Amino acid sequence: MTKYPEGKEITIYDIARALHVSTATVSRALKNNPAIPQKTRNKILEKARELGYQPNTFASGLRNNRTNTIGVIVPRLNSMFMSDVIAGIEKVINASGYNLIISQSFESAEKEKDGAETLFRNRVAGLLVSLSYATQSFDHFLPFIKKGIPLIFFDRVEDLEGCPAIVIDNFKAAYEITSHLISRGCRELIHITGNLSRNVYKDRLAGFEKALSDHDLPFGAEKVFVTDLSAEAGKEIANRFIEKQVKADGVFTANDTSAVSFMLELKKHGIRIPEDVSIAGFNNDFISEVVDPALTTIDYRGFDMGQITARTLIQLIDRSRDQEITKSIILRHELLIRNSSLH
Closest CB to a copy of itself among 46 and 214?
A: 46
Closest CB to a copy of itself among 39 and 121?
A: 121
* Among DNA, a copy of itself, none, partner that 36 touches (CB below 5 to 8 angstroms by kind): DNA
By the 8 A CB rule, do 149 and 313 touch?
no
Tell whether residue 2 is a contact of DNA (CB under 7 A): yes
Q: Least distance in Å: CB of 6 to a copy of itself?
A: 6
> CA-to-CA distance for 124 and 15, rounded, in angstroms?
29
Q: Which stretch binds DNA (CB under 7 A): 32-40, 174-182, 256-264, 307-315?
A: 32-40
Tell whether residue 45 is a contact of DNA (CB under 7 A): no
Tell whether residue 65 is a contact of DNA (CB under 7 A): yes
* Among a copy of itself, DNA, none, partner that 20 touches (CB below 5 to 8 angstroms by kind): DNA
Binding residues for a copy of itself (CB under 8 A): 6-7, 9, 54-59, 61-62, 65, 67, 69, 76-80, 82-84, 86-87, 90-91, 94, 99-104, 106, 115, 118, 120-123, 146-148, 231, 257, 260, 264, 286-287, 290-292, 302-303
By the 8 A CB rule, do 180 and 250 touch?
no
212 Cβ contact list (under 8 Å, min separation 6): 178, 182, 189, 218, 219
Tell whether residue 36 is a contact of DNA (CB under 7 A): yes
Tell whether residue 9 is a contact of DNA (CB under 7 A): yes
Out of 17, 37, 222, 292, the only residue in the binding site for DNA (CB under 7 A) is 37
> CA-to-CA distance for 235 and 216, rounded, in angstroms?
30
Q: Which residues make beta-bridge pairs with 165?
A: 153
Q: How far is CA 199 from CA 135, 211, 249, 303, in A?
A: 12, 18, 27, 20
Annotate 111-168 with DSSP letters as a single string: HHHHHHHHHHHTT-SEEEE---SS----GGGHHHHHHT--EEEESS----TT--EEEE
Length of the chain: 343
Closest CB to DNA among 5 and 220?
A: 5
Task: Please give the backbone phi and psi of residue 231, each rounded to the nearest 5 degrees, phi first.
Answer: -60, -40
Q: Least distance in Å: CB of 95 to a copy of itself?
A: 10
Give the interface with DNA as residue ranges (CB under 7 A). 1-2, 8-9, 11-13, 20-25, 27-28, 30-31, 34-37, 40, 53, 55-56, 59-60, 62-65
